[in-house]
Structure 1
């Protein structure tokens, strides 16, 4: 599957043919198709506003969440800490599904929510992500790892977030990981902006999140190697861990569920430039109803109860 999609991405790029793509976390499932023939049951937005089509009415909706079992989460958290102490990982993104009840369909939710990057995919899932994966333009590749979250209503929240040693350590690790990842496909890789804070509006209050900007230079023929570039960078460092290979193996053993398309990526190549996002803030339809998948980075400085609270805080709907 991975080789098939790598070759397909490269073929689109060689032809300078605009295409849409989505890839799951484990690179076992994916979809890539020319924009001119894109399926009608796929809706997306990449840093652009979205409005419902004429005649489409967004139904008023309500929702309810049932947080995952705290004791089960803490068992997994402690298992990750043991792996860190053993030197098998230094930072690992631990995630869990939260059962939710929705009074509307996923398409209505796509139009009713606000986010920089949104995807509605075949009535299977919807994502409203704040995190770009990579952008390629003018032979330059950019990535924007996001690590560090805090409730914006806390007094002096921005200063506290930037001063938090655990959050800083976690962010430094993921920036170093992404800088090394970009160095595999680009030259003159550098951190353009380190630890800047953005505010996100949600139905339950505002959140602050910390990002950095890293960029590097690509060869002029990068269009013909889009697949080679992407599959050297996947899975995204911010949602796996460092070292990446051992962290991914630990995630598979400890998390106890399938991430599927959650923490995968989606994006669009328009023949000249490419933009993409990480599939987080993610709601998936399942047999029992809906689940919202969320998580956070774990380091040796992490506190299990705080990490559980952060995982729950990330289960939100962004509002206008």
Structure 2
């Protein structure tokens, strides 16, 4: 059996060769599926994955054939470090990625979004696009190689029957420990070579981006329970990730609701959709030609009432002989189309990209 690998805490990862995969039926709501799983496997360690689209229907093109949500129910597992997991098993591989939208298409989409903002329809939209490369390696080989290239906390490898998901995300979507719910949105990006203060912290555009998303996520968390108010515990902190640096914030709220109810009210994450969320999702559906699927959805571990879920960015899908990766950026009123294309490429990191 191919191993399942998922972040757990600090430098430890869940490693399992003994699990079964449950898929959400197409006609079933994701929340109902998760409630069924929770009722049947409450005590078991589980790894959950939900798509960006969640329950929404989309006419966009799918890049691979997968379910809208799945849960790995784990019978036995060990907690290991990545050094233990990948010891002596890293192959030197290389892929040549090509964006599936052109520079001209992407910058035109940015201009359209700026026009929609000027008309008052939206304030901000997260615009993304996929890249693809020919690939003969296994999904596990890809994880072992690229996990060393991406400095991120929330790494996972999920093996499915027809494809593999390799997530190297730095962003926490939701975490609950002892009824305290936490989210840490990331917004604002610049090359690690640039001065943090001038390129990010004193940048009004980047400040506006993150502040809007913080307001959106506070609203999402407040809507979970009218008797509990969310609190911003960190704002515009620095996150250094090797080749790239970001600003992030942290929001907390007390909550003891079932995971299914929480995801029903918070998916997809605010930092990868836009503001206001419902209208920005419509814009994404109108402009992006490909479904995001697992990308910008969520995945992570879930046991009893506790869970830690990433926002599934910096993520690969290995399907047959194709390797797919996505990148994106937040578009606001004063976004420069060419600069946003440059940020899109920056977020591909150490990947070899044909521009």
TM over 0.5: yes
Q: Does 1:190 align with 2:243?
A: no
Name segments (4+ residues, structure 1) moved above 4 Å: 52-56
Q: Is the 8 A contact 2:237 2:249 kept in 1?
A: yes
Unaligned runs of 5+ in 2: 1-28, 56-67
The match for 2:252 is 215
For 2:84 and 2:141, the matched residues in 1 are separated by: 9
- Higher mean C-alpha deviation, range 171-180 or range 283-292: 283-292
The match for 2:219 is 180
The match for 1:167 is 206
Q: Give the number of aligned pairs.
A: 301
Instruction: Give the TM-score, by structure 1 length.
Output: 0.86
1:143 maps to which of 183, 191, 199: 183
Distance 1:57 1:33, change over 3 A: closer
SS in 2 for 1:305: helix
The match for 2:11 is none
Describe how 1:106-145 pairs up with structure 2 within 5 A: 106-112=139-145, 113-114=147-148, 115-122=152-159, 123-145=163-185
The match for 1:66 is 98
Q: Is the 8 A contact 2:134 2:321 kept in 1?
A: no
Distance 1:272 1:306, change over 3 A: same
Instruction: Give the TM-score, by structure 2 length.
Output: 0.78
For 1:93 and 1:260, the matched residues in 2 are separated by: 15
For 2:87 and 2:202, the matched residues in 1 are separated by: 49
Q: Does 1:230 align with 2:267?
A: no
2:89 maps to which of 41, 57, 61: 57
Distance 1:57 1:164, change over 3 A: same
- Higher mean C-alpha deviation, range 160-169 or range 52-61: 52-61
SS in 2 for 1:228: helix
For 1:193 and 1:90, the matched residues in 2 are separated by: 23
For 2:72 and 2:86, the matched residues in 1 are separated by: 26
Unaligned runs of 5+ in 1: none
**Aligned-residue CA RMSD in angstroms?**
2.4
Offset, 1:317: 4.8
Offset, 1:138: 1.5
